Amino acid sequence: MSTVLRIILQRLALGLLTLVIVSIVIFAAVNSLPGDFAQAILGQAATPEAVAAIRTQIGLDDPPVTRYMLWLYGAVQGDLGISFAQANFTTFTGSSNNVTVADQIAPRFANTMFLAGVTAAIAVPLAVTLGILAALYRNSVFDRAANIFTLSSISSPEFFVAYVLILFLAVLNPILPSLSNIYADMAMGARLKATLLPALTLTLVVTAHMMRMTRAAIINLLASPYIEMARLKGISPLRVILRHALPNALAPIINVIALNLAYLITGVVVVEVVFVYPGIGQLFVDSVKIRDIPVVQACCLIFAAAYILLNLTADILSILSNPRLRHPK
Amino acid sequence: MKQISRRGLLRTGMAAGVLAATGVPTLAQSRGGTLRLGLAGANTSDSWDGRTHSDTYMIVCAMGAVFDCLTEIAANGELVGELAESWEATADAKTWIFNLRQGVTFHNGAAFTADDVIASLNLHVAEGSQSAAAPIVAAITEMTKLGDYQVQFVLEAGNADFPFLLSDYHLLMYPHGSIEEAIANGIGTGLYRNVSFDPGVRTVLQRVDGHYKDGQAGWFDSIEVIAINDGSARMTALMTGQVDAVNNVVFQTEPLMRANPAIEVMDVTGNQHYSFPMLTNLSPLDNVNVRQALKYAVDRQELVDKVLQGHGAVANDHPIGPANQYYFAELEQNSYDPDRAKAMLQAAGLDGLNIDLSVSDAAFAGAVDAGLLYQAKAADCGININVVQEAADGYWSNVWLKKPWCASYWSGRVTEDWMFTLGYQTGAAWNDTNWENERFQSLLLEARAELDSAKRREMYYEMQMLCSQEGGVVIPMYANFVTANSTKLSHPETVGNVYDLDSNRIAERWWMA
């Protein structure tokens, strides 16, 4: 087990390094976009004096390297700073308020996690079941239909899938609301109902990948001699797959599930905008629009961290599920 | 959520149509229901501070529901009192006395008095405040409390429009002494109190019991305002009945809405206009004949039809619109006329003209298309317009006021003086033409202090004419406010046209059918 622990620590350290590099890349990218916060927020009212005043107030006058270092200095102490919009607002009104980036992101992140949770609860069992059934009845009509359906839904852009679902489930048959504006004190039932359409959209987007991987991994194993042996013993095909093939196919399946779970956190931007779901993706879009670097940075760090951690989890789980990897030579 | 069948909606919609046709008044307002609005223009940095308001979402919530101003522009354009009951001015329009409404209380129980007026207005000129309404308050040299319900304002120069200016949506009344708290929690004197406010996401408001507007306004029990910045999502929310009204209708889906009997599309022409300002201090735009040639080289109706898809009206190269008091509707219309354009070029001593027009959709939606249409029509007038597509980011900082000729827009102002002062007075920060005309500038000052309505009308008519004939801006069109609402809502026959959604007062003035 100590090797696993060492791997975890090693990967976490590498993950931290990745986060720093990601933050540098994002910082550079947002800075190289035309226009800055002052110009974006002032719009037509952007007289040179007003732009200069806002830049001075929120520290946009400092050279980029200095600003990045200041941000990094705060970030390593767990202080992600105050968004430009809030900082500008504070000087604007002459009042003090303490809404930090963390305060802004926390409720949005919770909403995104809720959506990811609901989606995972639908998508993972669905994809694995479909994958197993497709392997079981491979090359049958069912296998082909499942393949065509999931592949075409993953091949369509997310917003298109979203609009198709809205058309069928909200406009033509008003079963579900097209607006997913969940809020803090909403009852669980209503919350689930409001979240269902974006969750279904995401389900359609992530299912194909997981299902195909499950199917492929199992079919791969079905040619092995021990499966042949099991069959010769006269075990039913379903039992062969569940008892003998699946445990050995788990590693690649877990990997792909973890990757897709990460996608549920980082890839929700478009879906959240289409359904007006108040998650982190929508906040991200709003912040990029006004070049609010502290919020953009924080969102990107969360996205990157989600990927790194879920990948790490996937690796650990596949190591644990595969004794050969647990004892590297 | 209450489910309503489409059949049921159709029936009530048809019933309303029959009643309207037979002339039976359908305006029987009744209390009750929840108004659910899906609005664009929301931000995560939104707050109850009127000084920061600039878009529909917060104006509907604040000026339109939770807070009141001293005066209000009624749907027919007339100025009426809101928290002020009456006002009078000295003959030079320099000193104004406002009598305040008595017995009004804030949502926290505090009584509304003259102290609140003075404290609320002073917010705009406080140290560090960047309020867009600061120039209005800065023009007040002295504010005196004459009694608990009477305030005297002394202005630095006479301004006949002063009571109009006090209806501005930035100039909200807060309870003095607890302004910070009022800004944090949304405590005003309006018809609705703040129940929950999640910036950039959702606002819930509840009707106040016993309000001075009882019987005249405030028919809903509660208001839910949902931030929907995405156009398609907003339209779908209305189509699926999740909200009762939306602003900024997406033109592509508008025919679908018109075809739906349960939805009413509202097209209101106000003062909002799209423009092509020229820097008149630069050659060849310093020549009035060249400017006129350009005004005759644009097919305005084509722009209204193709760029606004019919949701607008032809404008006449001056910034005063149908929502203004002294709009000169009979002024001779500048229209597309290649022969006149060529004659104007000849008068300027030119055979033809090569000119750059800087455009970007940041100026207004469809500005690039408008530039190309302009180019095609101007070619027949001997004018070669080179349409330069600029980056949308930083457009207002790098192109507007900098490039000799570009695309721009103005939301318009409720008074002629305000509009001209902001964008046309010599030396104004937003003067986007640098147009110098002595007569125009002296009329501007003269009209401002004139209390006689007939004389003002004459002066503003002349200013609109000067601007249209000699001015430095091509204003081809007024852009309508296009909103849509469910026929479950009823509204007065006359709907305000200063801003969208009944001048942003939908929560006060509309009711459930």
Residue pair B232/B250 in contact by the 8 Å Cβ criterion: yes
Smallest CA-to-CA distance from B344 within B376, B298, B377, B296 is with B296
Compute the Cα dihedral for B390, B392, B398, B403 and give only its sign: positive
Q: Which two tokens stand for residue A170?
A: 């909200």
Smallest CA-to-CA distance from A39 within A30, A29, A48 is with A48
Angle between helices B453-470 and B438-448 in degrees, nearest 10? 160
Q: Which two tokens stand for residue B97?
A: 């006395």
Domain with CATH 3.90.76.10 in chain B: 68-189
Q: Hey, are the CB atoms on B44 and A286 less than 8 Å from each other?
A: yes
Amino acid at B466: L
CATH of domain A110-289: 1.10.3720.10
Q: Which two tokens stand for residue B264?
A: 């009413």
- Angstroms from B114 CA to nearest CA on chain A: 22
How far apart are alpha carbons B513 and B510 in whole angstroms? Answer: 9
Q: Hey, are the CB atoms on A278 and B409 less than 8 Å from each other?
A: no
Cross-chain CB nearest to A93 (options B51, B202, B400): B51
Q: Is B302 exposed, middle or buried (0-12, 13-18, 19+ CB in 10 A)?
A: middle
DSSP for A83-146, written as a single string: -HHHHHHHHHHT------HHHHHHHHHHHHHHHHHHHHHHHHHHHHHHHHHHHHTTTSHHHHHH
Q: What are phi and psi of A135, to 5 degrees?
A: -70, -40
pLDDT attached to residue B20:
37
Q: Hey, are the CB atoms on B129 and A94 less than 8 Å from each other?
A: yes
pLDDT attached to residue A93:
52
Q: Hey, are the CB atoms on A89 and B47 less than 8 Å from each other?
A: yes
Nearest CA in chain A to B228: A276
- CB of B393 less than 8 A from some CB of A: yes
Q: Hey, are the CB atoms on A276 and B228 less than 8 Å from each other?
A: yes
How far apart are alpha carbons B120 and B171 in whole angstroms? Answer: 7
- Angstroms from A63 CA to nearest CA on chain B: 20
pLDDT attached to residue B440:
94
Cα R_g (chain B), whole angstroms:
24
Instruction: Establish how many alpha carbons lie within 13 A of residue B288's alpha carbon, considering only the half-sphere containing its beta carbon.
Output: 9
How far apart are alpha carbons A296 and B493 in whole angstroms? Answer: 47
B262: chain A residues, CB-CB within 8 Å: none
Q: Which two tokens stand for residue B53?
A: 């308001």
Sheet holding B95-100, edge to edge: B84-89, B95-100, B150-155, B140-147
Residues 6+ apart with CB under 8 A from A58: A37, A38, A84, A87, A88
How far apart are alpha carbons A29 and A37 in whole angstroms? Answer: 14
- The ipTM is 0.81
Smallest CA-to-CA distance from B496 within B477, B478, B483 is with B483
3-state DSSP assignment of residue B145: strand
Residue pair A278/A182 in contact by the 8 Å Cβ criterion: yes
Q: Which two tokens stand for residue A211?
A: 């299902």
pLDDT attached to residue A329:
56
Residue pair B394/A290 in contact by the 8 Å Cβ criterion: no
Instruction: Establish how many alpha carbons lie within 13 A of residue A135's alpha carbon, considering only the half-sphere containing its beta carbon.
Output: 28
Q: Which two tokens stand for residue B342?
A: 């060529």
Cα R_g (chain A), whole angstroms:
24
Q: Hey, are the CB atoms on A93 and B183 less than 8 Å from each other?
A: yes
How far apart are alpha carbons A166 and A197 in whole angstroms? Answer: 8
B233: chain A residues, CB-CB within 8 Å: 178-179, 273-276
Q: Hey, are the CB atoms on B43 and A163 less than 8 Å from each other?
A: no
Q: Hey, are the CB atoms on B198 and A88 less than 8 Å from each other?
A: no
Cross-chain CB nearest to B200 (options A46, A91, A286): A286
- Angstroms from A79 CA to nearest CA on chain B: 20
Cross-chain CB nearest to B233 (options A45, A47, A274): A274
Domain with CATH 3.10.105.10 in chain B: 273-479
Domain boundaries, chain A: 1-96+291-329, 110-289
Amino acid at A34: P
Each residue's pLDDT tens digit in chain A (329 positions)?
A: 577 788 888 888 888 898 889 889 988 888 887 778 877 777 766 667 777 877 887 778 888 888 888 888 888 887 887 887 777 666 555 555 567 888 888 989 999 999 999 999 999 999 999 999 998 888 899 999 998 998 898 888 888 999 999 989 988 888 888 888 888 888 889 899 999 999 999 999 899 889 999 999 888 888 889 988 988 998 888 888 888 888 888 888 888 888 888 888 888 888 998 898 999 988 888 888 878 888 888 888 888 888 888 888 888 887 777 777 666 65
3-state DSSP assignment of residue B502: helix
Residues 6+ apart with CB under 8 A from B446: B459
Residue pair B287/B280 in contact by the 8 Å Cβ criterion: no
CATH topology of domain B68-189: Dipeptide-binding Protein; domain 1 (3.90.76)
Q: Hey, are the CB atoms on A92 and B237 less than 8 Å from each other?
A: no
B201: chain A residues, CB-CB within 8 Å: 181, 183, 278
pLDDT attached to residue A90:
61
- Quote the DSSP letter at residue B353: E
3-state DSSP assignment of residue B365: coil
Q: How many CB pairs under 8 A join A and B?
A: 126
B391: chain A residues, CB-CB within 8 Å: 34-35
- Angstroms from A115 CA to nearest CA on chain B: 17
A91: chain B residues, CB-CB within 8 Å: 128
B132: chain A residues, CB-CB within 8 Å: 45
Cross-chain CB nearest to B400 (options A33, A34, A44): A44
Q: Hey, are the CB atoms on B228 and A273 less than 8 Å from each other?
A: no
Residues 6+ apart with CB under 8 A from A65: none
Q: Hey, are the CB atoms on A53 and B130 less than 8 Å from each other?
A: yes
Q: Which two tokens stand for residue B338?
A: 């290649």
Cross-chain CB nearest to B240 (options A51, A170, A276): A170
Q: Hey, are the CB atoms on A170 and B236 less than 8 Å from each other?
A: yes
Residues 6+ apart with CB under 8 A from B314: B300, B301, B304, B333, B335, B476, B477, B478
CATH topology of domain B31-65+190-269+481-513: D-Maltodextrin-Binding Protein; domain 2 (3.40.190)
How far apart are alpha carbons B11 and A324 in whole angstroms? Answer: 72
How far apart are alpha carbons B203 and B181 in whole angstroms? Answer: 18
- CB of B486 less than 8 A from some CB of A: no
Question: Which residues are registered as beta bridge partners of B144?
Answer: B152
pLDDT < 50: residue spans in chain B: 1-26
How far apart are alpha carbons B114 and B108 in whole angstroms? Answer: 17
CATH topology of domain B273-479: Dipeptide-binding Protein; domain 3 (3.10.105)
How far apart are alpha carbons B371 and B420 in whole angstroms? Answer: 25
B43: chain A residues, CB-CB within 8 Å: 85, 286
Q: Hey, are the CB atoms on A93 and B408 less than 8 Å from each other?
A: no
pLDDT in tens, B193-204: 999 998 888 999
